[in-house]
Amino acid sequence: MKRHDIYTLPILIWLSLFFTIPLSITVIMSFMSSTPYGGVTLPFTVGNYVEIMKGRILAILWRTIRISALSTLITLGLSLPVSFFMATSKWKNLLLMATIIPFWTNFIIRIFAWIFLLGNNGMLNNILIQLGIVKNPITFLYNSWAVVVVIVYTYLPYMILPIYSAMEKFDFSMIDAAMDLGATKIRAIFKVMFPSIKGGITAGILFVFIPALGSYAIPELVGGRDSVMLGNLIAWEITTARNWPYATALSNILFVSTALALFLYLKIQGSDGK
């Protein structure tokens, strides 16, 4: 230990106690078995993982990845033009604040807004019924599309902010320069601007994709039978079934999927940068 380590000692202790040790406990517990009364017991076993690989869990894992990837793609598609417009706009500070306000509005309230709009007793159904267009409410929610829309809605600022932040540092006269040298506008954007905002795009994709993988509240509130995600399963195992070893095994699967996604992404990102 060096004398100056005193500065980092508190964080070292805190994060060891409340991050590294809990993660280790989670890994260890996933190799144990549950007792009928909600406890855990030895000996060590891989039974939980075998159980997961056998059943319908793989389908849920695959669906979780699909829903997250689709939401991330849509979010990216919306964020690129919006960030571009914001970064080149006269009112960029105003637009920036306009994106931050929903970001700082409570997460659960933002989900509630969609239940209010599209729910069976929601606003849209009320209007449709009053106009006589339909007799009975249409079920807009409680399917995987609703889950995708609400994920896009709640995580959009997480994608816009890093991309905007990268674009804002970009010198837009470079695009004009490239065009003066004969590049088309599309080509100029791809070849000149894209490389310098790539970091922002990577950050945005990770900020949306990873929390989406761990979604619980959104599929719980606006999803249905066809949109149960890994997070719902984990929560169910913990709160209702009280099978901790099984729940931690599921968590570890989510952890490995996240690490894999991160690794693959950084690999792709690294290779086309050369």
Which positions from 55 through 74 interact with another protein, judged by CB under 8 A? none
Write the burial class of residue 179 (CB in 10 Å: 0-12 exposed, 13-18 middle, 19+ buried): middle
Least spacing, CB of residue 178 vs another protein, in Å: 23
What is the residue type of 67?
A: I
Site string for another protein, 102-141 (x = CB under 8 A): x-xxxxxxxxxxxxxx-x-xxx-xx---x-----------
Least spacing, CB of residue 259 vs another protein, in Å: 8
Among 70, 128, 145, 165, binds another protein (CB under 8 A): 165
CB-CB contact of 62 with 81 (8 Å): no
Least spacing, CB of residue 54 vs another protein, in Å: 22
Site string for another protein, 187-226 (x = CB under 8 A): ------------xx--x--x---xx-xx-xx--xx-----
Quote the CA–CA distance of 114 and 48 in Å, as a whole number.
37
- Interaction of residue 270 with another protein, rule CB under 8 A: no
- Residues contacting residue 57 through CB under 8 Å, at least 6 positions apart: 233, 250, 253
Quote the CA–CA distance of 71 and 93 in Å, as a whole number.
27
Which tokens belong to 21?
A: 């040790």
Among 45, 49, 73, 99, binds another protein (CB under 8 A): 99
- Residues contacting residue 83 through CB under 8 Å, at least 6 positions apart: 160, 163, 164, 167, 200
Instruction: Choose the binding region for another protein from 51-59, 139-147, 171-179, 240-248 (rule: CB under 8 A).
Output: 240-248
